[in-house]
Amino acid sequence: MKEFNRSSPNAVVFAMASLFLVSAILVSKGYYKGISWFIIPTTTPLAWTSDHTSPDFSSYKEQRRKRDHESISNMPKHRDEKLAKLEADLATARALIREATKKVNQTKKSFLEDADYVPQGEVYKNAYAFHWSYLLMERVFRIFVYEEGEPPIFHNGPCKSIYSTEGMFLSFMETDIHFRTWDPDEAHVYFLPFSVVMMVKYLFDPIIRDKAVLQRTVVDYVQTISHKYPHWNRSLGADHFMLSCHDWGPRATWYVPQLYYNSIRVLCNANTSEHFNPKKDASFPEINLKTGQISSLTGGSPLSDRKTLAFFAGQRHGRIRQVLFHHWKEKDRDVKVYETLPKEISYEKMLRTSRFCLCPSGHEVASPRVVEAIYAECVPVLISQQYVPPFSDVLNWESFAVSVSVEEIPKLKEILLGISLVQYENLRRNVKLVQRHFVLNDPPKGYDVFHMILHSIWLRRLNVRISA
């Protein structure tokens, strides 16, 4: 475990150590109860996979059982010891977080006070537990990035366009010095640094349309790292993660069943009807960086300047937008819905001067409009199905966004007018509060989108226990 640099590290270490001790005692008494925003890790590794009908899964278990027998004699002893130590750290973190979930009103006490930022209020499912979990992540979590693979497909990604979060994350991870470790035996998770956007750009022929290029690339990569390093086989991929904002992100993982069913997949296309499993996969926010610039993207007008009730402009992609256009396209003075925005109207200005910004799914469930709305301090209206919004294990989406089902689209105006001014102001205040979690910083800053993604991965890693 690395030292962390804070102003008074000794005091914090001491506070942590005494809490570790307390929690160890509590654990031994079986004191813990279930918690809502975070699944209780079970003693059986990979227990969550039983939710799915994976044709090969029984054979994985078989493999695992066999390997469990063999591994003791085959693996170097120090590696087992290191793993045991890593798992012990995770077990302590798990116990502390569970303990924190029961103390919702304690943000003001203990060592958490000297932190730069204290999560508070209704935008969090449990602010105190999140705070604990986040600080433990900062102190404990170590990520190994496989060095195999060459740019432009590996270690590189787009930093412009609606897929930019994929490139931003890859680039932040390459240069990170806080979470990254170069010793694979010291890591809690292993990153597969490929970019699906780059595979599509460089390997996919739009005329031949042979999607097997994704298959070859991903299968080869997992083969390479699983032969060269012992870590993939050890967990059957469960402590490995990939990440993609491309519509085909989920598809790229399909060709390696262990990657699909066991690994942590961080995906913009977080469609639960397509095997996105929120217990092990994490929803990745889509951020449309039109120019690649990440500064001055935030800011909105005060309520008095927000004359438009609701706004949307975008192409006729997917089924939900068909319905939206059918009922609202250029039909209402207050609900302004455009397929093509007239030249004289500024898209950014509309976001900043509307009360609600509509975020219907397009070709895939995620929409970059959610983050656009949050940046413009416009209350997002999610119109989607089978979508898991980003960071919903810690954020209370109902406190800063409105959700409208596809069936309710005809009543959209009625629903939005039914939200009182007091309720609206509350929603908008909360949008401003959560904004920091969606902002990109270069280099990253605490609690920004990069750290929130890492936190999603951290929580999912806590759900798995790996044994040597």
Ligand X SMILES: *[C@@H]1O[C@H](CO)[C@@H](O)[C@H](O)[C@H]1NC(C)=O
Residue 250 exposed, middle or buried by CB count within 10 Å (0-12, 13-18, 19+) = buried
Q: Which H or E run contains 136?
A: helix 127-140
Residue with tokens 């699909």: 260
Q: How far is the CB of 227 from ligand X (least distance, A)?
A: 5
How many CB atoms are closer than 10 A to CB 252? 25
Cβ at position 222, least distance to ligand X in Å = 10
Nearest to 45 by CA among 95, 97, 87: 87
Closest contact distance (angstroms) between CB of 14 and ligand X is 27
DSSP H helices, 257-410, are 257-261, 318-328, 347-352, 369-375
**With respect to ligand X, which residue has the nearer C-beta, 23 or 384?**
384
Distance CA 266, CA 165 (A): 11
Stretch that binds ligand X, among 133-141, 269-277, 327-335, 388-396 (CB under 6 A): 269-277
Sign of the CA dihedral running 89, 127, 302, 406 = positive
Q: How many Å from the N-terminal Cα to the C-terminal Cα in the chain?
A: 19
Closer to ligand X by Cβ: residue 2 or 319? 319
* Segment interacting with ligand X, rule: CB under 6 A, options 20-28, 148-156, 222-230, 406-414: 222-230
Q: Minimum Å distance from CB 361 to ligand X?
A: 4
Q: Is 271 in the site for ligand X (CB under 6 A)?
A: yes
Smallest separation (angstroms) from ligand X to the CB of 446? 25
Site string for ligand X, 361-400 (x = CB under 6 A): x--xx--------------------x--------------
Q: Which residues contact 320 (CB under 8 A, 6 or more apart)?
A: 360, 361, 362, 383, 384, 385, 406, 409
Number of residues interacting with ligand X: please give it, by CB under 6 A.
Answer: 14
The torsion angles phi and psi of 138, rounded to 5 degrees, stand at -55, -35
List Cβ neighbours of 331 (8 Å cut-off, separation of 6 or more). Answer: 337
If one asks whether residue 73 binds ligand X (CB under 6 A), the answer comes out as no
- The stretch among 9-17, 267-275, 292-300, 409-417 that binds ligand X (CB under 6 A) is 267-275
Cβ at position 348, least distance to ligand X in Å: 25
If one asks whether residue 318 binds ligand X (CB under 6 A), the answer comes out as yes
Q: Determine the interface stretch with ligand X among 154-162, 224-232, 401-409, 433-441 (rule: CB under 6 A).
A: 224-232
* C-alpha 70: how far from chain center: 36
Three-point CA angle 91, 95, 97, nearest 5°: 115
Task: Report the residue number, 257 or 318, with the smaller CB distance to ligand X.
Answer: 318
| Run of H or E residues at 312 | strand 308-313
Does residue 423 bind ligand X (CB under 6 A)? no
Q: Least distance from C-beta 73 to ligand X, angstroms?
A: 14
Between 61 and 178, whose beta carbon lies closer to ligand X?
61
| Identity of the residue, 67 or 413, whose beta carbon is nearer to ligand X in the bound complex | 67
Q: What are phi and psi of 353, to 5 degrees?
A: -120, 15
Given the rule CB under 6 A, which of 80-88, 268-276, 301-309, 321-329 is the region that contacts ligand X? 268-276
Residue 156 DSSP SS3: coil
Q: Would you count residue 291 as binding ligand X (CB under 6 A)?
A: no
Query: Which one among 75, 178, 180, 230 touches ligand X, defined by CB under 6 A?
Result: 230
Give me 80's structure tokens.
Answer: 């087992």
Window contacting ligand X (CB under 6 A); options: 41-49, 117-125, 338-346, 358-366 = 358-366
The nearer residue to ligand X, 230 or 278, going by C-beta atoms, is: 230
**Could you list the residues that contact ligand X (CB under 6 A)?**
104-105, 226-227, 230, 233, 271, 273-274, 318, 361, 364-365, 386
